[in-house]
Amino acid sequence: MRENVLTLSNVPLGNFCTYHTGGNARLMKIVYDVSGLVESAEGDSVVIGCGSKLLVSDDGYDGTVILMRISGIRRTDDGVYAYAGVPLPALSRYCENNSLKGLAWASGIPGTVGGAVKLNAGAFGFCIGDYVKSVDVFDGKGIVTLTKEELGLSYRQSNFDGIVVGAELTLTEGSKEELLELRRNYFLKRRSTQPRGFSCGSVFKNGDLAAGHYIEQAGLKGLKQGGARISDKHANFIINDGCATSKDIYTLIRTAKAEVKSKFGVMLSEEVIYLGKF
Ligand SMILES: Cc1cc2nc3c(=O)[nH]c(=O)nc-3n(C[C@H](O)[C@H](O)[C@H](O)COP(=O)(O)OP(=O)(O)OC[C@H]3O[C@@H](n4cnc5c(N)ncnc54)[C@H](O)[C@@H]3O)c2cc1C
């Protein structure tokens, strides 16, 4: 029988984030169910899902990283309940297979349900908040159910504390053919506009104009630092070519902010989440 929590020490966090950079976590607790989570959460702990929005310090994280792997999806009367560790592409595919419409846009986002709720992930004009009915959160003492209003969701952010355990999403009926077509279209759009390679998706939040527009107009496309570069295809992506350090990536982030501020008077705000000391 599988343990409900697996504890590891000195774990290279580069293996658990899509940038594939960064140092070690002093402790990692991989949680597979709610009781594992309850026994793992402590003062200095931070929860991660797929690490697809993270830049981890090269010095690592001197605390406990909880790797959310509570999994499972079930049908509800008007949609689905998905546990926090479910990857969004898997959830999107489940919905497609069950003729449930609403999450085709999420098929190309390499995060978990928990991370998506925390950051109100979205694409192509949709976001997870459009579909959230309620969310179960571990608040350090027990599980509480928060309504959508209580989550304080806005553009790529939320305003609640605690660890997402699962989310109830309201969806509508659709045809499998229609959903497959939608997924294909989103895939092709992503393919044509976004670079491949190790990244965290968009580094900065968009404002009145896209962050990538300012970075491009500042002439920074293709700028390199060590093994990191600002993508030629999409200026809001910084790519690790395989040998970047987090410091390389961080240096490009700071350069982009400074250049855009000095040229356009616009202060870019990070969408990427820093873990550890920078
Ligand atoms: C190629 C690529 C494309 C992307 N495209 C998009 C896109 O189109 N739209 C978009 O919005 N994002 C996009 N992203 C970014 C990322 O996938 C999303 O932000 C995703 O929701 C992050 O989920 P995660 O599980 O990886 O979170 P992580 O990166 O692991 O964590 C991000 C934050 O969420 C918190 N968190 C994680 N799990 C939980 C939980 N269970 N409870 C509470 N807090 C939690 C963490 O503490 C951290 O603060 C892209 C990333 C990549 C690499």
One domain, residues 217 and 171? no
Count: domains in the chain: 3
Active-site residue, selected from the candidate residues 150, 156, 216, 270: 156
Q: Is 199 inside any structural domain?
A: no
pLDDT, tens digit (0-9, with 9 covering 90-100), for 126-179: 999 999 999 999 999 999 999 999 999 999 999 999 999 999 999 999 999 999
Active-site residue, selected from the candidate residues 202, 231, 246, 259: 202
Q: pLDDT tens string for the chain (278 positions)?
A: 567 999 999 999 999 999 999 999 999 999 999 999 998 987 789 999 999 999 999 999 999 999 999 999 999 999 999 999 999 999 999 999 999 999 999 999 999 999 999 999 999 999 999 999 999 999 999 999 999 999 999 999 999 999 999 999 999 999 999 999 999 999 999 999 999 999 999 999 999 999 999 999 999 999 999 999 999 999 999 999 999 999 999 999 999 999 999 999 999 999 999 999 99
Burial 247-257 (b: 16+ CB within 10 A, else e): bbbbbbbebbb
Q: Which of 138, 162, 193 is the last residue of a domain?
A: 193
pLDDT at residue 191 in the model: 94
Longest dimension (CA), the chain: 59
* 178 a catalytic residue: no
CATH number assigned to the domain comprising residue 246: 3.90.78.10
Q: What share of the chain is helix, strand, coil (3-state, %, to 5)?
A: 30, 30, 40
One domain, residues 101 and 186? yes
One domain, residues 189 and 84? yes
Tell me how far apart the alpha carbons of residues 5 and 28 are, in angstroms, rounded to a whole number. Answer: 10
Which residue from 109, 130, 190, 249 has its CB within 8 A of the most atoms of ligand 1, so it is best to mutate? 109
Atom of ligand 1 nearest to the CA of 162: 43
Q: Is 77 inside any structural domain?
A: yes
One domain, residues 157 and 222? no
How close is the Cα of 51 to the center of ligand 1, in Å? 6
Atom of ligand 1 nearest to the CA of 54: 29
One domain, residues 83 and 142? yes
Q: Is 263 inside any structural domain?
A: yes
Atom of ligand 1 nearest to the CA of 124: 8
One domain, residues 55 and 154? no
Q: Is 201 inside any structural domain?
A: no
Q: Is 202 inside any structural domain?
A: no
Whether the pTM exceeds 0.85: the reply is yes
Residue-number span of the structural domain to which 58 is assigned: 5-68
Nearest CA to ligand 1 atom 36: 115
Q: Is 127 inside any structural domain?
A: yes
How close is the Cα of 236 to the center of ligand 1, in Å? 16
One domain, residues 121 and 108? yes
Run of H or E residues at 205: none
Q: What residue ranges in the chain does DSSP mark as E strands?
A: 5-12, 24-31, 45-48, 54-56, 61-68, 73-76, 79-83, 100-101, 122-123, 126-127, 132-138, 143-147, 163-170, 172-173, 224-225, 228-230, 238-240, 273-275
Q: Which of 68, 91, 112 is the last residue of a domain?
A: 68
Nearest CA to ligand 1 atom 10: 121
One domain, residues 60 and 86? no
* 149 a catalytic residue: no
One domain, residues 103 and 128? yes
Active-site residue, selected from the candidate residues 96, 168, 259, 271: 271
Residues enclosing ligand 1, CB less than 6 A?
18, 46-54, 68, 84, 109-112, 114-116, 118-119, 121-123, 163-164, 199-201, 273
Q: Is 216 inside any structural domain?
A: yes
* 183 a catalytic residue: no
